[in-house]
Amino acid sequence: MVAPHYTDSEALTHDTFIALMNALAFPGRVFTLPTASTDESFRAIADTLLDIETSYYTPDAEWMPYLERSGSHAQTPDQAAYWFVPNRLDLDLVAQASVGTMLNPQDASTLILGCQLSAGQTTVWRGPGIQSTIAVQLAGIPEQFWKLRQQMIHYPMGWDAFFVEGNRVIGLPRTTLVQE
Amino acid sequence: MAYVATKGGEQAIDQSERFYHALKGNVTLEAVQTVLETMPYLVDRVLGEGSLYAPELAALALVQSGGDLYEAVLLLRAYRSTQPRIAYAQPITTERMTTIRRISAAFKDIPGGQILGPSLDYSHRILRTDVLEGGAVEPTPAVDLADQPAPRSYPLVADWERENRLLVQIPRANNPTNPSDIPDVTRDPITMPAPRAHRLQALARAETGGVLALGYAGMRGYGFTHPTVNELRLAYADLEMVHPISGEPFGVGRFRMSQAEIISSGGGGGVGYKLGYTATMGWNEVKLIAGATLDMEMNQAEPHPAHTEDFVLYHTESVEASGFCIHFKLPHYVTFASGMDSIRKVIQAEYPASKEGYTSPEPSESTKMVTA
Residues B60 and B157 in one domain: no
Tally of domains in chain B: 2
Higher-scoring residue by pLDDT: A3, A61: A61
Residues B309 and B169 in one domain: yes
Residues B187 and B309 in one domain: yes
Contacts of B85 in chain A (CB under 8 A): 51-53, 71
Half-sphere exposure of B108 (CA within 13 A, CB side): 0
Q: Considering the domain boundaries, does residue B226 fall inside one?
A: yes
Q: Which chain B residue shows the shortest CA-CA distance from A54? A: B85
| Type of residue at A111 | L
Residue A119 to residues A91, A116, A122, A141, Cα–Cα distance (Å): 20, 6, 8, 11
User: How far, in Å, CA of A135 to CA of A128, rounded?
Assistant: 15
Contacts of A52 in chain B (CB under 8 A): 84-88, 180
Contacts of A2 in chain B (CB under 8 A): 54, 56
Find the CB nearest A51 among B36, B84, B189.
Answer: B84
Could you tell me if B29 lies within 8 Å of chain A, comparing CB atoms? yes
Question: Which residues on chain A place their C-beta less than 8 Å from a C-beta of chain B?
Answer: 1-4, 14, 17, 50-53, 70-71, 103-104
Question: Would you list the DSSP string of B259-321?
Answer: EEEEEE-SSSSSSSBEEEEEEEES--HHHHHHHHHHHHHHTSSS--GGGSHHHHHHHT-HHHH
Q: Considering the domain boundaries, does residue A3 fall inside one?
A: no
Give the pLDDT confidence of A141-154 residue by residue, as tens digits: 888 999 999 999 99
SS3 B30: helix
Residue A78 to residues A71, A83, A107, A147, Cα–Cα distance (Å): 20, 10, 11, 19
Residues B45 and B107 in one domain: no
Residues B75 and B198 in one domain: no
User: How far, in Å, CA of B199 to CA of B192, rounded?
Assistant: 10
pLDDT of B133 reads 87
Question: Quick check: A52 and B88 CB within 8 A?
Answer: yes
Mean pLDDT of B62-82: 95
Burial of A60: CB neighbours in 10 Å, binned 0-12, 13-18, 19+: middle
Residues B225 and B272 in one domain: yes
| Type of residue at B313 | L
Residue A115: CB atoms within 10 Å: 21
Q: Considering the domain boundaries, does residue B51 fall inside one?
A: yes
Question: Quick check: A1 and B87 CB within 8 A?
Answer: no
Q: Which of B82, B178, B241, B252 to mutate to test the interface with A (most CBs of A within 10 A)?
A: B82
Nearest partner of B98 among B267, B255, B251, judged by Cα: B255
Tally of domains in chain A: 1
Domain with residue A48: its CATH number is 3.40.50.11310
Q: Considering the domain boundaries, does residue B237 fall inside one?
A: yes
Cβ-proximal residues to A69 (8 Å cutoff; 6+ apart), any chain: none
> Phi then psi for A133, rounded to 5 degrees?
-135, 165
Q: pTM, whole model, 2 decimals?
A: 0.86
Question: Quick check: B36 and A53 CB within 8 A?
Answer: no
Residues B38 and B162 in one domain: no
Find the CB nearest A70 among B29, B84, B88.
Answer: B84
For residue A18, give its domain range: 8-179
Could you tell me if B140 lies within 8 Å of chain A, comparing CB atoms? no
Give the pLDDT confidence of B178-202 residue by residue, as tens digits: 888 899 999 888 888 999 999 999 9
Q: Considering the domain boundaries, does residue A34 fall inside one?
A: yes
Residues B111 and B20 in one domain: no
> How sure is the predictor about B1, in pLDDT bands with cuts at 50, 70 and 90?
very low
Residues B188 and B228 in one domain: yes
Mean pLDDT of A91-118: 94
Residues B74 and B160 in one domain: no
Q: Considering the domain boundaries, does residue B366 fall inside one?
A: no
> How sure is the predictor about B8, in pLDDT bands with cuts at 50, 70 and 90?
low
For residue B199, give its domain range: 94-120+147-175+182-316
User: How far, in Å, CA of B227 to CA of A26, rounded?
Assistant: 54
Q: Considering the domain boundaries, does residue A19 fall inside one?
A: yes
Could you tell me if B187 lies within 8 Å of chain A, comparing CB atoms? yes
Contacts of A107 in chain B (CB under 8 A): none
Dihedral sign, Cα of residue B87, residue B155, residue B273, residue B174: positive
Q: Considering the domain boundaries, does residue A126 fall inside one?
A: yes
Q: Considering the domain boundaries, does residue A37 fall inside one?
A: yes
Complex ipTM more than 0.85, yes or no: no
> How sure is the predictor about B104, in pLDDT bands with cuts at 50, 70 and 90?
very high
Q: Considering the domain boundaries, does residue A50 fall inside one?
A: yes
Mean pLDDT of B227-238: 95
> Phi then psi for A83, rounded to 5 degrees?
-105, 130
CA distance A45 to chain B (A): 13
Residues B163 and B244 in one domain: yes
Contact B208, B281 (CB under 8 A): no
Q: Considering the domain boundaries, does residue A1 fall inside one?
A: no
Detail the DSSP E strand segments found in B159-248: 228-242
CB pairs under 8 A between A and B: 32
Cβ-proximal residues to A30 (8 Å cutoff; 6+ apart), any chain: A117, A168, A169, A170
Residue B101 to residues B113, B261, B289, Cα–Cα distance (Å): 11, 14, 15
